[in-house]
Structure 1
Amino acid sequence: MMWRLSTLFLLYSFSLFAQSPLPSKIYKLKTASDNEKLKLFLELSQDYTAVQPDSAVYYANRGLQLAQKQSNWNAQAVLLLQLGRINAAHHHDGLARRFYNEALSISRHTQDVAGIANAYDELGLLDAEDQDRSSLNPNLTRAMKLYHSSSDSSGIIESYAQLGKVYEQKGEAEKALSYYQRALAQYERQKIKPEAYFILLEDIGNLYMKKGKPQIALTYLKEGIDNSRKAGLRDTEVSLLNEEGIAYQDEGQKTKALSLYKDAFESAKKYKQPEEEAKALINIASVLQKQNSNKSLADLKEAMRIARTIKQPQLEARILEAMAGVYRQEQNYKEAMNALSEQHRLLDSLLQADTAKDIAALDSSYALETSYEKIGALQQTNKHVKSELQIGWIILILVLLILVLIWLYLRKVKRLNQELKASNKIKDTLFSVIGHDLKGPAASAVQLFEMMETEEFTAPELKGMIIELKKQTNASLELLKSLFAWGKAQLQGIEVNKADFLAKELIDRCITLLAPQASQKNITIKDNAPAHLKVHADADHFEFVIRNLLSNAIKFSHPGGIIEVEAKIQDNNEAVFSVSDHGVGISKAQQHIFLTGNLSTSFGTAKEKGSGLGLLLTKDFLKANNGQIWLKSRENEGSTFYVSLPAA
């Protein structure tokens, strides 16, 4: 039983491997120009379409990449149509339709009437396969109208020929022949016959062979041979000679068949077509098998040498089957088994090999699925083991996936807990800031009002108290503004109003506002920023940042110290500002706290208490304006804060 299944499978395989493109085209790619390569890529893809879809897609994709590199829209449309044909030939209708639509879009963009017609033609053929109503198909109707309007006889011929293919695949031989004959009638009007004409004759001949009418088939095959010799199409000529020989052999006319095979062999040898040469030897061996088995084996061994030279494993497999047949005839069963075993190994390696040579456009599982289906009958004993292994791998992967998901979940929970702790810490510190920093200025203001109410003061004294009251009120207001700004940023995000502005004007304003605070500690602020420097950011945010940095510098500077403001434009078109002091400096631990973004309460040289809220807002504002902040500091030597923002 296994022997019969193997034989049936091999026979089926050889029918697929019987046609393959000529290696000469692949050799030409090495020296061809880009335009010639485009043509060769298309031809190779067309040659491989029926038997090796992975190779067909590979060459079509290479051509498409070259066409895209050249911005050659027409070539792109043609190659997209070819990708669609490959998918349609192997029943990937969804992908085929997508490629046809892309080709149609490009042809419409370039106003290529022939390209539009071709795309409609292919879409119509897809619909014809689905609906079996080709005569009423709207896409085919559009294609035919465009072909007729542009007098494109080649397009009309191609439509008829492809419709013939559709019906031939459906098993409707008579309908297929009717469309083939319509295409043939169009060719008869042409003085010079293209290669497609001879392929059409070969298709018609093959169809008549399937119908059991070899005599009629021979008339078409002979016509193809005669005409191809006139046109000098040697590739088609050799192929047709082999086909004609097969027809005569089926008719029982072995002498005539042998003559044709030898003619095909000599022509293939003369015109350097090694694959056709090997095929002719296989056919010669099949005729001589009964009468001269030694000569038959010699021819097959020579064919094997050629197949190995041109690296055609499919052809090798076909030769091995023929050799096994000769050995069986001689009752040399050991050699027959060896040949079949080698053939089985070769086919097995071919079917299981990775056929995904850049097959992204084609369904990646296609080749594997079909390979496993074909070798299933030969590997029943291993099937259950493989299934169990696959299930085991699936279970292992699922377990690993579940473990990864659990790990990610626990990691997320841990991160959320850390964020919650940080949020609670910020909240606690924030309430402490509100309670202390608002309470102090408010209490001072109340005391001043009580003194003004109970005591008598001179006008200058009252003016001084009012000035002090204003300072306390402003301090409270500034803190409230910061709190509201921070709260709004957390709830609604930071609103940014970017514009170009002179940085020096805002720096001067900040220095003026902080002058009383600096004078209390006899601190000098030097502004070395250039007057012309412009920044592209939110002006209010920039002013807040500079004011906060200057306020902190005053707070942590020693009495009589100096604070310097610098600014410059870097090569990357960023403005970098620095505020330097020579005060107490910042420890490594405090620098780490600053970088982590947490709030930290600190005390200045005059015991001024800082909440850290200003620096927190500074970092948020800079981030919103595509800026950055960093610092350099050493304890007891001072600190320098750097701020970068986009220059105007």
Structure 2
Amino acid sequence: MNRRILLIRKKFLNFPVLLCVFVFLQINQANAQVSLRDSILHELGNLKLQGIKKSDTLYIDTMLDLADEQRYFVLDSLYILAKEALSLSQQSGYLKGESNAFTSLGTYYSDKGKYDTAIKNYKNASKIADEIGNSTLKLSNINNIAGEYGYMGDYALALKYYLQGIELAENVNAKIMLSIITENIANLYISQKDYTQAMIFYTKVKSLNEEIGDPIIMAETMSNMASAYADMNNLELAMYNVNNSIRIFEDKKILDWLAYAYEIKGKIYLKQEKYNWAMYWYRQSELLHNDLNDDRSEIPLLNGIAKANLKLNKDSISEVYAKKAMGLSKKIADISGTRECAEILYAINKKKGDFKEALTYHELYQKVSDTLSRNENKKGLTMLKTKIEYDQQKELLILENEEALAKQWLYLNIALFLLLIFLGITLLIRKNARIQKALNKELISKQSDLEKKEEHLKELNETKNKLFSIIGHDLRGPIGAFQGLIKLFKEGEMTKDEFLGFVPKLKSDIDHISFTLNNLLSWGQTQMNGSVTKPRSTDLKHIVLENIALLTEIANSKSIKLINRLDDNTLTWSDSDQMDIVIRNLISNALKFTPKNGMVTIGAIEKTKHWEIYVRDNGIGMNEETMGKIFSKSQTHTSYGTNDEKGTGLGLSLCKEMIEKNNGIIWVNSALNKGSSFYFTLPKAVKKYKKTA
């Protein structure tokens, strides 16, 4: 996985440290980290002066804290301190210290690439944490175990432990760990190039992070999302996220994550083919890595530098960095890094004509790719996706059943109340009075039915008149003109060249007739037969892209730019067929009233419970009087476009009906000669996802 696995970041309280390991500290480390380690050493010195024994829990905790701080600087110090803390904890029966010591040893072996040994230590730590009822320690180690299986390429087992962590985190309301594990599951989907599912989990992570309110956690997520967006070639969002994360890491002096964020920024510039800028940010990351002992994070950095140099035709430098990355990948058994190194070295050797060496690296690349893409990994992730969808549908069904049950109880109570009243009346009035009341009730009911039928007939008659009016006004003209041209050509009064000169106009008229008939059929169905709205999770961006493709020819004929600003996650709870009609009418309407060289923009603004979609043009605009008529059902308002395009006047009325049937509203802002902006709202799609590590 080409991104950082999220781990718990410890905050200094009073954790572990030994004076004997001071020799491992190096003066040239970053000020923030050195200051923290010096602070811990000072704390330990105070404990010794106060006569605190090594077996004391405070002393052991301080020793373990120093061990963790040594991880990215002198890794062997982490091992020495953790072993000493483990021994002291076992001698004094301090189970929490023993669990933390096993965790630190697991971290040491993980960074050494000895994943089986790391997992063994993490499992020991988790077992002890379970014995003492410390859910925080257990959660941390479950997450660590899953991460190790991820490094080994066994995503199915990684997913198994992540799901265990999700369940435990929800039970104990551990929001930070829930965020971490959910994000790690998103990273598993990224490794399988399932970006849609990954973004669903990232959306859940962002929501959890907002509840937590920790800027460092938010920055870590933004760094991983920046890497994901870069993989998706959504470079604008990638740059936005990485710049925000860099600002926080620089402010908080989180150097290991800052090195990672610099590397991601270099990756984005590499994707943009700005190779010199890519090299600049890669060098910034490389400078930080000179003071960090973080082989796993250095591998993608070295590969990025190799790619940038290869693009700059500095093949020999590229090969040096790629081989260094390959060496680190083999050292810590990083199969994901090995795959990327092999791909780069294949390209380098192929370019210089060493086909034998190129074939060797290609075979290595294929072997590692098969390992990472094996069926059980894909099957596990697919099963999780299916389970989440099932749980979502189940929760929705439960909610609907509860609402239905509540209504039934309400109706039952009302019925019982009415029954009591009826029984009371029955005892007080005579039989004839009851009969008379029943007759009156029947008479009123029949009168109401007659009034409803009369109103329905009136509406049908108005619909018929409107249909005939539109057919006579907007369809008969173009059809008659078409017939006249054919008659002139047939009778020889028009040459073939003259007739061909009218073909573009005829095509435009036929397109207008087709569009008008579609609107008439849709509107007629809603008015005469009633249309059934079937809401479901609807991807508005997909609908917009289809309609842009459909209307591109019309836009090109007027040199109008069609711009889509909808994100991939613009999911609404609506009828997709009805939304297709609404989007098509609004875009067509915008094209109609926008002059040549204009621009039509379609976008969406995310609100708490709904999406606000807009279709904006810089056309001729409308006055207040026109805006008051365009959505009216009782009258048809038709205007000619900038190229004398015709319309039925039904489009916006039809849009209003369909938006309202999907629990939304529609409105317009416009000014003459400045353009119009049509807005409508739709409920968000119902979705509940969980998990990360």
Do Structure 1 and Structure 2 share a fold, with TM-score over 0.5?
no
Higher relative contact order (CA 8 A, sep 6+): 2
TM-score bracket relative to the smaller structure: 0.3 to 0.5
When Rg is computed on C-alpha atoms for both structures, the one with the higher figure is 1
- TM-score with structure 1 setting the length: 0.34
